[in-house]
Amino acid sequence: MAVLKILVAPDPRLKVVAEPVLQVTDAIRQTLNDMLDTMYAAPGIGLAATQVGINKRLVVIDVANTEAGEAPRPLKFINPEVVACSNTMNSYPEGCLSVPGFYEDVERPESCTVRYLDENGTPQQLQATGLLATCIQHEIDHLNGVLFVDHLSRMKKSMIVKKLDKAKKQQRLSVSYPVVD
Ligand code: QAP
Ligand code: CO
């Protein structure tokens, strides 16, 4: 069990294209479990290795609505790839653990087919639709150094990134001067 530190935009490490996993080892399985711990602790519904500063093509997702009594459904993806998608598009208000506090509509294919390796290194294929399809496309974007704000207008994107940058700088100032009274 390990909760990792999540990178917040703007951060150059969020723009790096992640490397494919060549061999599914115990270390990879451990990283996937740590990513799930990190995602559940946040809490979030999806997390890519890029967001925790790991330059590998790994994604975890759980879109189960546990507040509505659904059992958790953790999904682990190694080297995920969209191999087909619908022409029909869907708009969903996306958020991101690396863009905390901001939600904006993003349009993406409503359904997609994803090929990936499971944690045993076995090739798998998944047909996803609705929130799961949106989430997996969002997470694969991270592995390619793309954030949901990159899908917005330049004005909306720059406003969000500037606010996050300002908040980071203010946070750095406040940690240098702890309040003692
Ligand atoms: C990606 O995002 C996603 O701003 C996963 O303050 C989101 O888990 C795909 C979160 C929506 C499809 C639809 C965001 C938590 C979590 C925040 C997340 C925040 C706290 C985001
Ligand atoms: Co994200």
Per-residue pLDDT tens, the chain, 181 aa: give them: 899 999 999 999 999 999 999 999 999 999 999 999 999 999 999 999 999 999 999 999 999 999 999 999 999 999 999 999 999 999 999 999 999 999 999 999 999 999 999 999 999 999 999 999 999 999 999 999 999 999 999 999 999 999 999 999 999 888 777 778 8
Task: DSSP letter for 177, please.
Answer: S
Angle 136-90-36 (CA atoms, 0-180°, nearest 5)? 20
| Residue 63 burial (CB count, 10 A) | 17
Contact 35, 50 (CB under 8 A): no
Question: How many angstroms does the Cα of residue 25 sit away from the middle of ligand 2?
Answer: 25
107 tagged catalytic: no
109 Cβ closer than 6 Å to some ligand 1 atom: no
> What are the tokens at 81?
């790839």
pTM for the predicted model, two decimal places: 0.96
Query: Considering only CA atoms, which residue is closest to atom 13 of ligand 1?
Result: 94
104-108 — which CB contacts under 8 Å span 24+ positions?
104/148, 104/149, 104/152, 104/156, 104/160, 106/134, 106/138, 106/148, 106/151, 106/152, 107/151, 108/133, 108/134, 108/137, 108/138
Instruction: Kindly give the distance from the C-alpha atom of residue 113 to the centroid of ligand 2, in angstroms, as a whole number.
Output: 20
